[in-house]
Amino acid sequence: MNTYKNQPVVGLFITCLADLYRPEVGFATIQLLEDAGCKVEVPSQQTCCGQPAFNTGDFKQSAAIARQTIEAFDGYQYVVAPSGSCISMLHHYPELFDEKDPWKKRAEDLKARAFEITSFLVDVLQHSLSPSTFNSSITYHDSCSGLRELGIKDQPRQLLTQVEGVEIKEMQESETCCGFGGTFCVKYPDISNRMVGNKTHNIVDAGATTLLGGDLGCLLNMAGKLQREGHDVDVRHVVEVLAGMTDQPALGETKSTVKAG
């Protein structure tokens, strides 16, 4: 465990999907942050980041959500989330306010403090993981928001090389969208289905037994398609592996379907 003279105080942005579908991702994120020497708090007044409203052009509602989020995380040295998508939305908050609006400065301040978890561990803390083991070959999906808006590419891979037993098998077109895109998959279901089909083809061709990524929306989309196609590939959020918390079933599995060994 790394210790710091001035312990960083982190506000955890838990994300809607982690809260509703995969709480383990939140617990794993907290463990990683605490192992890195951080004090972690989870503000109860946080809600959605506002991205669905923002992407559909409802900027009035987006601004209202932004103000609530800014207030919820006021005073924290850092704001960290297990999602490049949500953090990238926090980075868009300054666009929602006029130059003379005092909320703009507060939005810019939040943006400067907001990080995706793997980027925070690598780029901000330069943290080395506690020893853990995950005996599996993995392939990694680079989510659009994390990659294109936050520059997250090498950070999760750098951390995964510190986990004993991990063998990385890169898929073709790892940087290509999986077709989820939040409301995109609802507006354009046929295009979305074709895109995730292309993605699962590349996942299976990589020959890995586990698919990892940093955004639950992408992972839920790909896990569902892999199951419908009958492929035997586990799907997990990267923080579960980094924190050594892989006892729970993979995404889409139940306890009765978990594979032995």
pTM: 0.92
pLDDT over 90, % of the chain: 87
Is 23's pLDDT higher than 50? yes
Chain segment 192-247, per-residue pLDDT in tens: 889 999 999 999 999 999 999 999 999 999 999 999 999 999 999 999 999 999 99
Is 141's pLDDT higher than 70? yes
Q: What is the pLDDT of residue 259?
A: 53
- 10 Å Cβ neighbour count for 32? 26
Chain segment 48-101, per-residue pLDDT in tens: 999 999 988 999 999 999 999 999 999 999 999 999 999 999 999 999 999 999
3-state secondary structure of 99: coil
Residue 24 dihedral angles phi and psi, to the nearest 5°: -55, -30
Chain segment 152-200, per-residue pLDDT in tens: 999 999 999 999 999 999 999 999 998 887 777 778 788 988 999 999 9
pLDDT average, residue stretch 2-10: 72
Q: What is the pLDDT of residue 103?
A: 98
Is 5's pLDDT higher than 80? no
Is 254's pLDDT higher than 80? no
Placement of tokens 């509602």 in the chain = 61
User: In sequence order, what DSSP letters do the residues of 59-88 get, joined into one string?
Assistant: HHHHHHHHHHHHHHTTT-SEEEES-HHHHH
Q: What is the pLDDT of residue 181?
A: 79
Confidence of residue 1 (pLDDT cuts 50, 70, 90): very low
Domains of the chain from N-terminus onward: 9-123 (3.40.50), 132-257 (3.40.50.11810)
Extended beta strands in the chain, E state: 9-12, 39-41, 78-81, 114-116, 133-141, 164-168, 210-213, 234-237
Q: What is the pLDDT of residue 3?
A: 45
Is 261's pLDDT higher than 70? no
